[in-house]
Amino acid sequence: MLTRSLVSIALCGVLIAPLLHGANAAQEEDSAGKQAEKQFAVELDPATFDSTIAGGNVFVKFFAPWCSHCKRLQPLWEQLAEIMNVDDPKVIIAKVDCTQHQALCGAHQVTGYPTLRLFKQGEKESVKFKGTRDLPAITDFINQELSTPAEADLEEAKREETENPNLGKVVDLTEDTFAKHVSQGNHFVKFFAPWCSHCQRLAPTWEELAKELVSEPAATISKIDCTQFRSICQDFEVKGYPTLLWIEDGKKIEKYSGARDLATLKTYVEKMVGVPSEGKAADDKDAVQEPAVEDEKKPIVQAVSGEEEFDKAIAEGIAFIKFYAPWCGHCQKLQPTWEQLATEAQQAETDVKIAKVDCTAPENKQICIDQQVEGYPTLFLYKNGKRQNEYEGSRSLPELQSYLKKFLGHDEL
């Protein structure tokens, strides 16, 4: 009897196993299908590359699946492809896996991942994208490279038309309109939640601020509801409500932390767009008297400003430079460690220069482009004017010191 029961159970297991395997396989196929649906960028290989390039403008991401920078860029690249890859597109968004097509990547001078190159129809040479890898910067690059002068004028006229109706009003932004709206010009944006009492108190003042600035077209006053459009708020590292950010040409410049009354907010906007304010002359007089005190104790971390200063800083010896943006959370976390590294180098009486370059400053933007800074913070070491590979290790003090020692040749730190 026991033997019969065991045989029955065994037969049942044999019959059910294929059904379970089939169900799992179906689930895997369904999952794979859903993932495939999310792929909007055109995959190119040696057989399709030349014909695709010949057929129109193509923006190609050369990548490696294991590359961490490539993984971070992937969702943005697919989002860009979803927007651009429509019927009769202005540009095709494509990608090439360099681990599978090494010869093709080598032919197009791909030496690191990801490399982004724009192939314009009818032109032999491609244009390498060297900016920050965010949607506003990439779309701005495409527009600049592919717009004819007539198209550029038309776009400017359209932009003026769309900006004029916003004067005197708070622009209500959404996930669909945010990137395009802030991609150009100056924007003071309120990130809020409807249930937040501080946001509710600020709401009428924010509306008044927009009305007060009707004669100041150099800035727009906007708002976005973080309960509806969380991804945008996460991208801008919003951690509390309301958060007021100043954004220029798609990049976060700084978080406003002053008083929220109308007069203070208006003064802040005027300061950011360069409107002279009363009492400035007195401030300038004070500024003239202060440097004598400041010069007595120069900051240990050298703040490099402008191309001439940068070239001088890296020309001789060893310079370890942090390229950063003031609003970047990772940069802020690194700051005390970077200052400590500079202090240690100074106390050890080494010739090492620990410096920093603010990539949001107008005088430094070209430096950051030339040095291929694609994210913040970026750490580059220069030895007698020659840039070494980007430092991608841990940002702890012992690891940074260990990295420096490799170039010093002896234990100075």
Which residues belong to the active site?
67, 70, 196, 199
Name the H helices within 48-171. 49-54, 68-84, 102-107, 135-146, 149-163
What is the spatial distance between Cα 126 and Cα 138, in angstroms, rounded to a whole number?
15
Using an 8 Å Cβ cutoff, are 94 and 399 in contact?
no
Neighbours of 385 (CB within 10 A): 12
Q: What's the one-letter identity of residue 395?
A: R
DSSP label at residue 165: G
Contact 98, 62 (CB under 8 A): yes
- Which uninterrupted H or E stretch holds 281? helix 280-289
> What tokens were used for 218?
């150099």
Count of alpha carbons within 13 Å of 25, Cβ hemisphere only? Answer: 6
Cβ(127)–Cβ(120) under 8 Å?
yes
Give the closest residue to 236 by CA, choosing from 166, 163, 187, 167: 187
CB 161 within 8 A of CB 229: no
Structure tokens that stand for 101 in this block: 């097509």
